[in-house]
A and B are shown apart, each in its own frame.
Chain A
């Protein structure tokens, strides 16, 4: 919405930051195997680097307990180790990915979750944006950044606020967020992310041809996109869910203080009242750490208030 400060892009050089969903709970339930998925994605990533020798590529793994950088084409370490049989990209990325998966697994909660947990998309998006800010700082000539989310897990409602914050920040610095969603139902988070930031949202109808979809839709740099007919958005659902019954509503009541949404008229907003009570209840010492900091945790805490059903979730 706001016009970003004019940036002197090197007009055909891209910085692509990919977030890769490695959530084991998703991949074990998904018919397509992770290794097949990875081989197609790796070919695509390699093609990005081959499209222009100045192109930069960063890969961030989105795990279910943590997120981490697994590949950075500008890092010196990545240039050295070519073992002749595989491009450096493959060996480095696979090595780091293995380490990441092992670390991520160690963090898993001892009690197995009942439902498939979402992956930490809010974390990898935040990291990607920090990385892109660094590229902006690097001088007047910097590559055109964009983010590509390769996501399969379902949306985690508890990440809603954090993901929206990341989307708005991306919009402010004019970084498009592309999303390739391979899960069974559309992801409302990614649909909104791509719509708001001017990226492309696409759900490949067939997993076998994933490489084809990736290279025709997502490999084009921002300059070339103006000349191509890329998939159009099929409408974005901006309707809200009420906090009280989690129903999707097209008309409702919004609290003027905390902006909670309700489907019927109440005299007082229960979220505001609950927040006020929370403020009084918690001792002052915990203000900084426990209460204010943890955005998504707090939302869960707040919204699990009176009716215990109040998850702020937009479908």
Chain B
């Protein structure tokens, strides 16, 4: 264990070394450039006109700022009013305009890729919610998948239908979505996310009437454009309380679509607190055999049993095919609890105040034990938790707020509160 220094396995050594030297490991620099996906896009020109790779810390900082904005927004609205059970239709425009190649390789391919990432992220953040897919082309709208809770089936359906032709029809798509969303229970939060490539819409009637109809049914419509801003889309979003944005490039598009994954701040009248009857099935022991209702075949191994009618299902969350009971497991509920109890943003410690002996920072990240001193033993930019006063590196800061949702410092010290109240 003494001789690992210098090998790429050792994180500390890699970061301190020149990157070209340390990451090499048998590959030349130009070879590595091609192994990484689309590396030519991450180049920028410096003052003297030379091409240089973009400094990744800039990207990290951008993410960090975006997160802080989002957190500030959630703190401003009442915490508890989150529409946690969402019914969302994603309308994908597959008109001729989607075959444009201003996005690489084409708008359609970029949309498909990002919709896939979005659907996974959406179910990660909204485990009780449902998504449906609608496509519009040749002047009509077509329902691709019904509202459902399984990410795989949506992704499979979309990937099988990637052909574009004709014109998009906003009205037909909205009418179809409106009819479907009108049937869902009142506690659900109705949303439409339209990914619009076209600059026109081919409608059979008055689109304004349809917009008013959606507004009356409290359907929140959001549009992400891929071409240019359109008045009618802006009007639709304004009327129904959604957001309208136009993507500049692929990474911007990704950012815009992922903004729709966390639950929107529900306006009080939109989401009413309702108690919904749900079942919590137990997982059967490995090795038991039963016929499941979802695939209609005998299966060995862990499955879940509907507590009301005792049939076997393979996956949670789902709706029992026999009795219609919503089946979930308690971890599915717990997945959403971090929205109810977000952690506060950490405050930045400027390098100057770190030198101040009165603060006495250890200059080691509390989370990952990484040294916060740069080459010249000068403190780097770091953050600290306002509650437990522990110091963290920027990478941990982003990880803690975007994935972990726990402050390791606060969790590592028993707080008096839990003792005094219990």
Chain A residue nearest in CB terms to B15 = A138
Which residue of the partner chain, among B286, B336, B369, B399, contacts A259 with CB atoms under 8 Å? Answer: B336
Chain A residue nearest in CB terms to B27 = A140
**Pair A13/B278 contact, Cβ less than 8 Å:** no
Q: Would A299 and B333 be within 8 Å (CB), given that A140-B23, A238-B283, A251-B280 are in contact?
A: no
Q: Does B50 contact A (CB under 8 A)?
A: no
Chain B residue nearest in CB terms to A160 = B334
Question: What 1/0 flags go to A239-265 for Cβ under 8 Å of B?
Answer: 110000000011111111111011001
Partner-contacting stretch, out of B134-142, B203-211, B341-349: B341-349
Chain B residue nearest in CB terms to A78 = B1
A259 to chain B, nearest CB (A): 5
Partner-contacting stretch, out of B80-88, B171-179, B220-228, B243-251: B80-88
- Chain B contacts for A249, CB-based, 8 A: 280
A256 to B274, CA, bound (A): 5
A297 to B421, CA, bound (A): 9
Chain A residue nearest in CB terms to B117 = A2
**Pair B11/A137 contact, Cβ less than 8 Å:** yes
**Pair B124/A141 contact, Cβ less than 8 Å:** no
**Pair B340/A133 contact, Cβ less than 8 Å:** no
Q: Does B294 contact A (CB under 8 A)?
A: no
A186 to B26, CA, bound (A): 48
Partner-contacting stretch, out of B193-201, B231-239, B352-360, B410-418: B410-418
Chain B residue nearest in CB terms to A288 = B344
- Chain A contacts for B410, CB-based, 8 A: 293-295
A141 to B12, CA, bound (A): 13
Chain B residue nearest in CB terms to A295 = B341
> Most chain-B Cβ atoms within 10 A of its Cβ — which of A124, A161, A240, A261?
A240
Chain B residue nearest in CB terms to A72 = B369
**Pair B11/A168 contact, Cβ less than 8 Å:** no
Q: Would A239 and B404 be within 8 Å (CB), given that A68-B412, A141-B8, A257-B273 are in contact?
A: no
Q: Does B9 contact A (CB under 8 A)?
A: yes
**Pair A49/B1 contact, Cβ less than 8 Å:** yes
Interface size of A by CB at 8 A reads 105
Question: What 1/0 flags go to B105-117 for Cβ under 8 Å of A?
Answer: 0000000000000
Chain B residue nearest in CB terms to A236 = B283
**Pair B418/A133 contact, Cβ less than 8 Å:** no
Chain A residue nearest in CB terms to B308 = A251
**Pair A134/B8 contact, Cβ less than 8 Å:** no
A138 to B25, CA, bound (A): 14
A162 to B307, CA, bound (A): 28
Q: Does A155 contact B (CB under 8 A)?
A: no
**Pair A66/B4 contact, Cβ less than 8 Å:** no
**Pair A66/B413 contact, Cβ less than 8 Å:** yes
Q: Does A219 contact B (CB under 8 A)?
A: no
**Pair A1/B403 contact, Cβ less than 8 Å:** no
Q: Does A54 contact B (CB under 8 A)?
A: yes
A271 to B184, CA, bound (A): 25
Q: Does B62 contact A (CB under 8 A)?
A: no
**Pair A130/B396 contact, Cβ less than 8 Å:** yes
**Pair B271/A235 contact, Cβ less than 8 Å:** no
Partner-contacting stretch, out of A26-34, A198-206, A272-280: A272-280
**Pair A74/B10 contact, Cβ less than 8 Å:** yes
A254 to B336, CA, bound (A): 13
Q: Does B252 contact A (CB under 8 A)?
A: no
A189 to chain B, nearest CB (A): 11
**Pair A250/B422 contact, Cβ less than 8 Å:** no
**Pair A123/B412 contact, Cβ less than 8 Å:** yes
**Pair A299/B341 contact, Cβ less than 8 Å:** yes
**Pair B406/A133 contact, Cβ less than 8 Å:** no
- Chain B contacts for A300, CB-based, 8 A: 417-418, 421-422
Question: What 1/0 flags go to B368-401 for Cβ under 8 Å of A?
Answer: 1110000000000000011100000001100110
**Pair A238/B2 contact, Cβ less than 8 Å:** no
Q: Would A256 and B336 be within 8 Å (CB), given that A69-B369, A298-B341 are in contact?
A: no
Which residue of the partner chain, among A131, A172, A195, contacts B369 with CB atoms under 8 Å? Answer: A131
Q: Does B260 contact A (CB under 8 A)?
A: no
A283 to B404, CA, bound (A): 28
Question: What 1/0 flags go to B42-60 for Cβ under 8 Å of A?
Answer: 0000000000000000000
A195 to B411, CA, bound (A): 23
A49 to B421, CA, bound (A): 44
**Pair A251/B333 contact, Cβ less than 8 Å:** no
What is the interface of chain B, defined by CB distance below 8 A to chain A?
1-4, 7-12, 14-15, 22-23, 25, 75, 78-85, 120-121, 123-124, 128, 151, 187-188, 266, 271-287, 302, 304, 307-308, 316, 325, 328-331, 333-338, 340-344, 365-370, 385-387, 395-396, 399-400, 403-408, 410-419, 421-422
A-B contact pairs, 11 of them (CB 8 A): A10-B9, A66-B413, A127-B408, A192-B331, A240-B333, A268-B273, A275-B79, A292-B344, A293-B344, A298-B341, A304-B422
Closest 4 CB pairs of A and B: A130-B367, A138-B11, A123-B412, A238-B329
What is the interface of chain A, defined by CB distance below 8 A to chain B?
1-3, 10, 13, 49, 53-56, 64-69, 72-75, 79, 107, 109, 113, 117, 120, 122-124, 126-127, 129-131, 133-135, 137-143, 158-162, 164-169, 172-173, 192, 195-196, 232-240, 249-259, 261-262, 265-266, 268-269, 272, 275-276, 279, 287-289, 292-301, 304, 314
Given contact pairs A74-B4, A301-B417, a sample of 19 additional A-B residue pairs in the complex whose CB atoms are under 8 Å apart: A53-B1, A67-B408, A69-B369, A74-B12, A113-B419, A126-B411, A130-B408, A137-B395, A138-B9, A139-B11, A142-B11, A235-B283, A251-B278, A255-B276, A258-B340, A259-B128, A300-B421, A304-B421, A314-B334
